[in-house]
């Protein structure tokens, strides 16, 4: 893969004004007041999240993983808490046709060692049939456990693209929290880092200073061609796929759906 996007440019549009360090520090300190208030509000929301009620689920319902059918309770791996990501699936689509939004989430969660150290297990659920899911997981090089929940009702099955938090009390399983859409963004550290950069995510919805380059469609850089050019056209893949062994340019994408 030849990366051509993001190369250096000596004539960038809409650059921030140049000031001395004292002026910069004063502006930075002013913004820091708002950032700290944002952090404290996030802490308050997390505290409210911990006070949500919970609903009991059937922990005996079977899901299918690398070792065959197992009860959902097994996903806790003996721990008391579990976080799952529900990965969307397009039946019979090639690897490059799977959801680019879910790819960002799954790729940024390459393993769960820090969650495990805190006593929390992690797994990926998807509605895909296991005989399709298994080769995809192998191709992507994912090491966290994946399970097919095909045919199961929500919240374990059904709608995908959610993060669920669950609690185990002996053999009983409870759903304590669920989020989707931009609520999934905390998993994707790249988005948080982009939000710290001068040009941000480069998306049209951003509030930019006058003179900044116009934004593009949401998630525009999540797919690229073999040369690293951002495109959602027929020769594109979700960006991480290009570093996987055997990934080649494609002529027929077979993609379904849109950015999630």
Q: What is the pLDDT of residues 220-242, one digit of tens each?
A: 999 999 999 999 988 899 999 99
Mean pLDDT, to the nearest integer, of 60-65? 98
Q: CB burial class (10 A; 0-12, 13-18, 19+) of residue 139?
A: middle
pLDDT for 234 equals 86
Report, as an integer, the average pLDDT of 23-46. Answer: 98
| pLDDT number for residue 13 | 82
**pLDDT for 167-206, tens place per residue?**
999 999 999 999 999 999 999 999 999 999 999 999 999 9
3-class DSSP assignment, residue 56 = strand
Q: How far is CA 83 from CA 4, 94, 126, 215, in A?
A: 37, 27, 14, 34
Token reading at 78: 């003996």
Output the pLDDT for position 181.
Answer: 95
Is a pLDDT exceeding 60 seen at residue 256?
no
If you average pLDDT over residues 77-87, what whole number do you get?
Answer: 98
**pLDDT higher than threshold 90 for residue 2:** no
CA–CA distance from 218 to each of 46, 96, 185, 205, 237 (Å)? 27, 19, 13, 8, 16
Compare 256 and 123 and report the one with higher pLDDT: 123
Q: Does the model's pTM come out above 0.85?
A: yes
Helix intervals (H) in the chain: 21-50, 100-108, 113-117, 130-140, 189-194
Please give the average per-residue pLDDT across 27-49, as a whole number. Answer: 98
In the CATH hierarchy, which fold is given to the domain comprising 50-180? Glutaredoxin (3.40.30)
Q: Check if the beta carbon of residue 208 is closer than 8 Å to that of residue 195.
A: no
Question: Is it the case that residue 4 has pLDDT exceeding 60?
Answer: no
Q: Supply the pLDDT for residue 84.
A: 98
> Which pLDDT band, with edges at 50, 70 and 90, does 10 fall under?
low
Give the tens place of pLDDT for each residue, 96-133: 999 999 999 999 998 999 999 999 999 999 999 999 99
pLDDT at res. 79: 98
pLDDT interval class at 260 (50, 70, 90): very low
Mean pLDDT of the chain: 92
List 134's β-bridge partners, or say none. none
Residue ranges of domains in the chain: 50-180
Residue 257 banded pLDDT, cuts 50, 70, 90: very low
**What is the pLDDT, as a whole number, of residue 251?**
72
């Amino acid at each position: 893969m030849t990366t051509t996007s993001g190369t250096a440019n000596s004539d960038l549009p809409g650059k921030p004004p140049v000031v001395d360090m004292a002026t910069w520090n004063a502006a930075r300190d002013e913004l820091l007041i708002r950032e700290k208030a944002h952090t404290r509000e996030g802490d308050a929301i997390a505290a409210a999240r911990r006070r949500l009620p919970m609903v009991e689920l059937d922990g005996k319902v079977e899901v299918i993983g690398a070792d065959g059918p197992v009860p959902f309770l097994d996903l806790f791996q003996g721990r008391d808490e579990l976080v799952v990501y529900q990965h969307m699936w397009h039946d019979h689509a090639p690897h490059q046709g799977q959801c680019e939004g879910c790819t960002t989430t799954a790729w940024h969660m390459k393993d769960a060692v820090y969650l495990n150290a805190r006593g929390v297990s992690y797994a990926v659920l998807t509605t895909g049939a296991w005989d399709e899911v298994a080769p995809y997981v192998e191709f992507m090089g994912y090491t966290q456990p994946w399970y097919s929940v095909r045919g199961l009702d929500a919240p374990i099955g059904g709608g995908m693209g959610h993060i669920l938090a669950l609690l185990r009390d002996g053999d009983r399983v409870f759903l304590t929290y669920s989020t989707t859409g931009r609520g999934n963004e905390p998993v994707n550290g790249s988005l948080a880092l982009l939000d710290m950069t001068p040009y941000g995510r480069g998306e049209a919805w951003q509030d930019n200073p006058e003179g900044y380059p116009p934004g593009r469609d949401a998630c525009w850089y999540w797919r690229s061609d073999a040369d690293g050019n951002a495109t959602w056209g027929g020769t594109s893949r979700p960006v991480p796929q290009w570093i996987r062994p055997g990934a080649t340019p494609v002529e027929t994408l077979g993609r379904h759906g849109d950015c999630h």
